[in-house]
Amino acid sequence: MNNHLKLPTSLDDVALPDKLPPMVLIAFTRPELLKEVLNGISQQTLLPPKIISFVDGARKEDDELLIGQCISLLEDFSELVPVEIIARDHNLGCDKNIILGLTEIFSAHDAVVYLEEDTVPNQYFYDRISRLLEAYRDYKQVCSVSGYATLPAGCDTQIHTDFLVSNRVFSWGFGTWCDRWQELNLSQSSQYNPFGNFYQIPATSQTKMTMINQFWLEKNKQTDWVITFTVAALYHQKVHIIPTNSLTYNIGFGHPEAKTYKGKEPTWANAKYKAHFCPNSLPSSLELLDKLKKPLTDTDLVDYLLQQKGLWLSPSAFLYLLQKSSSFTGMAMLFKLFITRLPLMLKRWRSGLPT
């Protein structure tokens, strides 16, 4: 942390940079959602100087019409804000398209504001993220700034400002800097976990969700750039600035073209959204709330793992967590988890799947 710098306390007092950051907008096969996002951008109190939109290539023939509709919407929108459209000539996949896109952007820009085609911003989003990028530019411990909020239960009583420090990246409308992106180097592998395995990720009330997400990515051999970003930032002891209420609203749930959230909207997803929220007050330090930085006890961690349907422990995961257990109760719970979920692991092993 830069101890010689004085943290700002009011975002309104942070001057906008002479050169505003471009807005990166990811689009693919959901033109009806993109139309709503573009409408949200048009209503910003501060318009971005430029939008750079990465549009992935078609996976199948039916995609081509939808992609064409997205490109037409972006071309029409360029009458209000200049739009550079980078249309991939073949399908890269969501994660590769985004990681490659941001890496390309940072060859020419030192900061960006990021949105996807299912994330509608409120009118203050671009102004607030741009000011946050300026406010924390020289605080290298801060890895990203976000317009989206979700927190573990019990945090509200500890929060006295409009923004707080987080250990998780929230990509539903965020900003980051070139040097932070390059330091984390997300392009080095498809699902990089510098801790080694999911069970070695430090568990708190906030990062326990990252542990579970990483478990499923490892076992299903899938990728998710946001989880990779979160884990890499955690490993490098970075933090993130997030609002207490959301400036963005996700409209992508249940869409037939959705990649991650195919079901109905969960109650937590947009619970913190406020259409007219213009946050100002900033945290007085870069320390996490006590609720967020306190490690889970061994019993709390195993209890959380037991709640995860379909989760199992490999022998190496079991032995690692057993060595970390500090109570007889925690050890007993861990044995229960390992034994009761053993059939799941054996079934996968017999099928030749990762265990």
Choose between 4 and 124: higher pLDDT: 124
Superfamily designation of domain 11-293: Spore Coat Polysaccharide Biosynthesis Protein SpsA; Chain A (3.90.550.10)
Share of the chain above pLDDT 90, in %: 87
Whether 228 shows a pLDDT value over 90: the answer reads: yes
The DSSP line for 320-349 is: HHHHH--SHHHHHHHHHHHHHTHHHHHHHH
**Band of pLDDT at residue 258, cut at 50, 70 and 90:** low
Rounded to an integer, what distance in angstroms lies between the CA atom of residue 49 and that of residue 45?
Answer: 13
Domain ranges across the chain: 11-293, 298-350
292 phi and psi angles, rounded to 5 deg: -90, -30
**Band of pLDDT at residue 133, cut at 50, 70 and 90:** very high
* SS3 of residue 305 by DSSP: helix
Give the pLDDT confidence of 17-40 residue by residue, as tens digits.
999 999 999 999 999 999 999 999
Give the count of beta carbons closer than 10 Å to the beta carbon of residue 184: 21
pLDDT recorded at residue 188: 64
Q: What is the mean pLDDT of the chain?
A: 94
pLDDT recorded at residue 223: 87
Nearest to 55 by CA among 41, 44, 66: 66
CA atoms within 13 A of residue 137's CA, in its CB half-sphere = 14
Give the pLDDT confidence of 159-179 residue by residue, as tens digits.
999 999 999 999 999 999 999
